[in-house]
Amino acid sequence: MAIVEHSLPRSARRQWAAVLVAGAGRLAQMALTLLAASFLIFVALQRAPGNPVDIMLGNKAGDAEAVRRLNAQYHFDQPLLVQYGHWITGLLHGDLGTSFIFREDVSSLIAARIPTTALLVAYGGLLVLVLGFVTGLVSARAGRTVDTGISVLLSVALATPTYVIAIVLITVFSLYLNWFPVFGSGDGLLGRLHHLTLPAVTLALSSSAAIARVTRAAVKDEERRDHVTTALARGLDTPTVLRRHVIRNALLPITTITGIVAAGLIAGTVIVENAFGLDGVGSLLVQAITRKDYAVVQSTSILVITAFLVVNALVDLLYGVIDPRTRDGGTR
Amino acid sequence: MTPLLEVDDLRLTVGGRDPQGQELLHGVSFTVGAGEAVGIVGESGSGKTLTIRAVAALHPPGARIDGDIRLDGRSVPAMSPRELMRMRRDDVGMVFQDPHAAINPVHRIGDFLTETYRKDGPEQRRVAAARALELLHQVRIDDPARILGCYPHELSGGMLQRVMIAAALLRGPRLLLADEPTTALDVTTQAEVAALITDLRRESGTSLIFITHDIELVGALCDRILVMYKGRIVEELTPDRLHGGKIAHPYTEALLACRPDITRRRHRLPAVPAGAFEEGWAAQ
């Protein structure tokens, strides 16, 4: 609630210019990161053992003429940098190449799988935030017994590998209780959500434990601050103090950990989609890597990295909104 | 007439290894009359801050309070949470040592000042906003309308402490508790802030408890001075006795001897050794 609207046109304009410059810098940084990451993945894949031409030819692998023809078709006979150049030029023109394995455009291959993965990450992310935040807040505010109990559960959730969580959840909720399907993506939004519930919970469990821990620590930390004493000394009621002074300020570290956790969520889809037999981007990536489907691996990795970069940019943006001190370069 | 504040044999005990707990205030008694200014001096850990926090019931959670604190005849330890909130909001204003720590960095100055009016209607909030503006004027802040839209980190310590004083006086409290309000500020700002507190409270007839290490400052601001040592009030002075008056307690004497004096040349300022005046003032 700004009581008096104050506008300082000149300094406001200067501020906008600063924002634009910072934004452009950020975009350049993201582009550079993508370039470096794509090159690293390209080189790593080329250097890894196994030959895509042999895989494509199957039992005709000995046919020298076929090998030569395929090598020429996919530019495998050219130097590494030239091959990378071909791929990146195609990418910039919107051509992601063709999958050797699926004999299909990489773009349509990926596009078909994005909805499943996007829904899975969104569903999981929502669970992470709600579950993590609520658990952390309860843990910070509750007595010692509840706090210790939650702390033990969080340690278990953090320490258990994702695939083990997946197996346990499938065994309990699909096989014994029969509440959720074992695999597949489902039809319609409700069907999809039903199918995606167990995968999303699997994906969310350890991440929400991380968020819960940070939330608990941040809330406990903020409660001890001098400004909270001031708020109490001014006769504000407990819910207001909690909302405006404790939680509001605890959002800073929580936002930081959310950015880190988001990366884990995106990477976690690879395991979760395989465990639950979902045909998303993550399972596509695994199939493509095992069969050296260069074009698919490259494009899928770029997509995953881009998603990660965008999430992090959003988190940084959010940070500026939450903490006024970080807005103008953090100067006092 | 009963005084505004009566602190009566106040004992504060915190839980320690000892099942009995550890007593930090050993029967503190004093009164503050309406419109009176009382200073409390003493070294760190002597119980000054604990005493005034107990007055606003802001003592550490888990601490036990014995004895009584009465504001306007009403017992503070006996108040319900709701009464306590109302007392803190309407009757007692507090100013703390470090304004940058004591004011939440994420809210604008205007929001901070009028925060206690959030639950009131829009009409009340408008009145509060106008009063905030007027108070910023009174604490001698230039361009108060702009300051209302600033964040705490954009203001200097001295400016922010003025904002804190304005916030403490916004609802017209009857008692102002100032816990070393000048310690974190540089020397010129210290004098200004101290003068400001005195001027404003005299105008409004607000009573004051002023805590400081600076015995000269307290002599200039207050009607009476309480000297605290190890959780007790060991001496009550009037400002005129600071210079050549009769001093009863050796700690006070030692404290006064530590003041720098431009008329005397000394190699080192004397210091009061920690714990020098234990039980029965034996050391002297």
pLDDT digits (tens, 9 = 90+) for B32-66: 999 999 999 988 888 899 999 999 999 888 888 89
The shortest CB-CB distance from B86 to any of A5, A235, A323 is to: A235
Helix (H) or strand (E) holding B37: strand B37-41
Q: Scan residues 268-327 of A and list those with Cβ closer than 8 Å to B.
A: 322-325
Average pLDDT over residues B217-221: 86
Q: Kindly state whether A248 is in contact with chain B, defined as any CB-CB distance less than 8 angstroms.
A: yes
pLDDT per position as a tens digit, B182-205: 887 888 888 888 888 888 888 888
pLDDT of residue A331: 40
The interface predicted TM-score (ipTM) is: 0.86
Q: Which residue in chain B has the smallest CA separation from A237?
A: B85
Residue B252 or B146, more confident: B146
Set of chain A residues whose Cβ sits within 8 Å of the Cβ of B101 = 225-227
B63-81 pLDDT, tens digit per residue, is 888 989 999 989 999 999 9
* Interchain pair B105, A227: CB under 8 A: yes
Please give the pLDDT value at position A328: 58
* Contacting residues for B253 by C-beta, under 8 A, at least 6 apart: B247
Which chain B positions have a beta carbon within 8 Å of A245's beta carbon? 104
- Indicate the SS3 state at residue B124: helix
Contacts of A325 in chain B (CB under 8 A): 105, 151, 153
Cβ(B213)–Cβ(B180) under 8 Å? Answer: yes
Q: Mean pLDDT lowest for which of A166-180, B125-139, B167-181?
A: A166-180
pLDDT at B283 over 70: no
For residue A244, which residues of chain B lie inside 8 Å, CB to CB?
Answer: 104, 107, 115
pLDDT of residue B140: 87
| Residue-by-residue DSSP string for B213-267 | S-HHHHHHH-SEEEEEETTEEEEEE-GGGGTT-----HHHHHHHHTS--TTS--S
pLDDT score for A82: 84
Write the residue in A237, A240, A324 that is nearest to B106 by C-beta: A324
> Is the CB of B101 less than 8 angstroms away from the CB of A226?
yes
Q: How far apart are CA A187 and CA B211, in angstroms?
A: 71
The token duo for A227 is: 């400004």
Segments of chain A assigned to CATH 1.10.3720.10: 115-326
> Which one-letter DSSP state was computed for residue B57?
T
| Contact: B167, A234; criterion CB under 8 Å | yes
**Residues forming a β-bridge with B74:** B71
Q: What is the chain A residue with the closest CA to B61?
A: A224
- C-alpha–C-alpha distance, residues A27 and A312, integer Å: 12
| Superfamily of domain covering A115-326 | MetI-like (1.10.3720.10)
Quote the pLDDT of residue B280.
47
Residue B161 pLDDT more than 80?
yes
pLDDT tens for chain A, residues 1 to 332: 444 444 445 556 677 777 788 788 888 988 898 889 888 888 888 777 777 777 777 766 667 777 777 777 777 777 878 888 888 888 888 787 778 777 788 888 888 888 888 889 999 999 999 999 999 999 998 888 888 888 888 888 888 888 888 888 888 887 788 787 776 667 777 777 888 888 888 888 888 999 999 999 999 999 989 999 999 999 999 999 999 999 999 999 998 888 888 888 888 888 888 888 888 898 898 888 888 788 888 888 888 888 888 888 888 888 888 888 877 544 43
Are B102 and A227 within 8 A, CB to CB? yes
Record: contact B90-A235, CB cut-off 8 A: yes
Cβ atoms of A320 and A256 closer than 8 Å:
no
User: Residue B96: is its pLDDT beyond 60?
Assistant: yes
